[in-house]
A and B are shown apart, each in its own frame.
Chain A
């Protein structure tokens, strides 16, 4: 009797080892699935853009021509790349100071109950889909830009940067909408970074007679700078590939102009607009190559951001 039960346990424990191995293998398979997807994206983009890469070579990246007429097609990504970088730059210029200021307001100034409500609202706004910002941009904000902001900027500042008729849509409008979209996101992350500082440190500085601004600038800021830069990288990564918020208001024009009032296009909005219309294989291939460029840009940003965060984790010696 005793012997029998021993045999039984060993048999079942062997089964159990097998089941454990199977379970482990299954989870590993799911994890490998992630790697396969990313490698798959790269390979599909590369394969499909190969005809365009072969035909246009490096000139694709520096040419401004975008002519899909069959027979005399010529494709260059420069206008799309320019639009992507210009709108992202405008968005970061606006969103960076604003989100930091709002985060400081929430952590240092606002009464706790208000900070809770406003902070919660901002986190909810980060969840609003981008097409909603696009709708609002097209129907509400673009007319507002046309009637108020653009004429004002044109008259008061002027110069080549703010030149041309106020059309409402264009690079500047797209950049502002993009800023609004990433604002809640960066604010939420920046607030969490600010909150990581031990209260004792702040209390000690206040106890020495420092003003709130001095505490923020000289004590909190040096503590947080790495985390903030990480938050900005994340926001930048969002802005650079954002599609729907921009497509509505950028104007979708393959030209490069110094004025931020003029219509332009970004890689993502070119894809959104022209992908289903591309009839010729070489046209489609050029669009795939645009996708490859965008994928490459985001991967580079991701790698830089991750290296940065890893260094941060090492320097703070813990999770950040």
Chain B
């Protein structure tokens, strides 16, 4: 191979670097463009009514999405109550008892599969399980669908975080005669507290913006959430319905809802990040 001259090498380097910098700026600029449009178009929809009133039919002034905001919060909270404990203890199993169990291989494998399963498939599954059997859509079904998405995420981070806790800590607790369950819940959990909280927060952030699993489970509704045994209003499906509608005032509402959900998700993600950084 003929050695390239220094000049060629340098100019190749310069060109590649220039292209790389340029495409980075293009990519980042487009992503900024997305955020800019969401903020610019969404902020106009924010007013007192938006947060306090029920939706109105198209063309009628002064409606809001208070029911959908509350619905999203309630459904996400219920999903967290179901999903986080199951995921947490599944993670405990993998980290604390998994080493000598034949179960841990298959559980890890299946958990990865579930993490890669499209959220709409989970919606279809919950529809077949909980909507067809009781013959109506419900907020519960929506919460279960979101919980199913959370479980593998929480299990994975829990396992990783518990693995970071040094074994000497467990050994010293056990040597003092503390039973295994107490060691895990009182000592290992305490050592990994921030990591566990971060994992759960990220999982909540992830599901609070989900739309597809709610389409056939919680559906949507223009009324207050009530006891979740009926179709339940929520922000993301509202965005979908309103954006697809031909009415400009509904589309405006959809932009407002988009901004709100983006802010909510980013806030949760930032909280999680902040927690993790504090740890270091």
A positions within 8 Å CB-CB of B:
16-17, 19-20, 22-24, 26-35, 37-38, 40-41, 44-45, 47-48, 97-99, 101-102, 104-106, 109-110, 118, 120-125, 127-136, 138-140, 180, 183-184, 187, 211-214, 234, 237, 240-244, 247-248, 268, 271-272, 275-276, 287-288, 291, 294-295, 298-299, 301-303, 305-306
Contact = CB atoms under 8 A, between A and B. Distances in A.
A303 B120 CA distance: 20
Contact of A35 (B26, B107, B262, B270): B107
B226 interface: no
B211 interface: yes
B125 A26 contact: no
Contact of B251 (A139, A275, A295): A139
Contact of B13 (A34, A128, A184, A213): A213
B112 interface: yes
23 contacts: A27-B92, A30-B85, A31-B103, A34-B152, A35-B107, A40-B125, A45-B124, A110-B24, A124-B270, A129-B261, A132-B258, A139-B255, A180-B34, A187-B27, A211-B13, A212-B17, A234-B116, A241-B121, A288-B128, A295-B117, A295-B121, A298-B117, A305-B116
Contacts of B88: 30
Given A34-B107, A34-B111, A131 B211 contact: yes
* Secondary structure call for the A interface: helix
B269 interface: yes
A272 B110 contact: no
Contact of A127 (B17, B86, B114, B269): B269
Given A20-B180, A272-B120, A35 B110 contact: yes
A305 to B, nearest CB: 8
Contact of A30 (B12, B93, B265): B93
B219 A20 contact: no
B38 interface: yes
B212 interface: yes
B38 A135 contact: yes
A118 to B, nearest CB: 6
Interface in B115-145: 116-122, 124-125, 127-129
B118 A241 contact: yes
B48 interface: no
A92 to B, nearest CB: 15
